[in-house]
Amino acid sequence: MATNPSQYAHPEALVETEWLEKHLEDDRIRIVESNEDVLLYDTGHIPGAAHIDWRADLQDPVIRDYIRPEKFAELCSKNGITPDTTCIFYGDKANWWACYALWAFRLFGHEKVKILNGGRDKWKAEQRPMTKERSTYPPTKYPVPKKRFDQEIRAFADEALAQSKTKRPLIDVRSPGEFKGEITHMPEYPQEGVLRGGHIPGAKSVPWKTATNDDNTFKSADELKKIYIDNAGVKPDTDTVVYCRIGERSSHTWFVLTYLLGLDNVRNYDGSWTEWGNKVGAPIEKGA
């Protein structure tokens, strides 16, 4: 946790739009756009930004898992990224998917990562430069990561179950209706084949967007501490697991807890409800 609760634990993990506009030509950074709407990049993006498709670029095309370390190295190499490159992620939906891409980069051990505070919507609202020109970069030779950090920042179903049984913090970041079991998908989104609704027993409901302001920037450290530490039972000295539907909304909360509040023991259960809600024998609670 930050020693001064009014300050983010890692303020360097955020960059502001004004700063980024002044550093568009900085060859030490790579701006990365990652959106829910994968077609949005071609309608206009920040000059020099690479486009990383959360599904096509980060997901294994056959099994439900992330790409292998060799593929991650290829992805970085073709986008001109080295281990020393600072990757600044941004996107639509209050950086929901940008945080997912950032979390995936951390899964492969890339350390220099930041989020553009306010994301794509704030950049556009301020009428900052946009282009439709696709960016190209001299290829690099990104080394193949020696491992994926599955044990450190990722949780699996058996670990989520253990978290539930031992009554350690479990944060469900989906909508209240999904948490209660009234619906099995996000409001205004299609059903994706989940057979059961509800939540993992013992989980606390804290919708992911609770952490953001109306302009899609993150709330203050004091506000975030009240939301998660004071009201949701997250404890700095106890492991926390966050989950949603496929791990994308919960990666936003993972970023908040890890970088803005400074917890070093938070894991993202990316199997989330599309796994749990279809898993034979998995315990489920309904209601608030």
50-51: strand order across its sheet:
14-15, 113-116, 86-90, 29-33, 50-51
- Give me the pLDDT at residue 190, please: 66
Domains defined for the chain, CATH in brackets: 11-148 (3.40.250.10), 151-276 (3.40.250.10)
Say whether pTM exceeds 0.85.
Answer: yes
Q: Which pair of structure tokens corresponds to residue 279?
A: 């898993």
- Give me the pLDDT at residue 168, please: 97
- Give me the pLDDT at residue 188, please: 72
Residue for token pair 């994706």:
192
DSSP 8-state secondary structure symbol assigned to residue 282? -
Helix (H) or strand (E) holding 77: helix 69-78
Using CA atoms, how far apart are residues 51 and 59, in angstroms rounded to an integer? 15
Q: 244 catalytic, yes or no?
A: yes
Contact 131, 139 (CB under 8 A): no
- Give me the pLDDT at residue 6, please: 61
Least Cα distance to 116 among 13, 260, 10 occurs for 13
Alpha-helical runs (H) found in 210-260: 221-225, 248-255
Name every residue whose Cβ is closer than 8 Å to that of residue 280 and which is 6 or more positions away in sequence.
none
- Give me the pLDDT at residue 86, please: 98
| Rg (the chain; Cα; Å) | 18
Name every residue whose Cβ is closer than 8 Å to that of residue 165 and which is 6 or more positions away in sequence.
none
Q: Which pair of structure tokens corresponds to residue 22?
A: 């002044």
- The parts of the chain modelled with pLDDT lower than 70 are 1-6, 189-192
Contact 97, 248 (CB under 8 A): yes
**Considering 76, 87, 99, 244, which one is annotated as catalytic?**
244
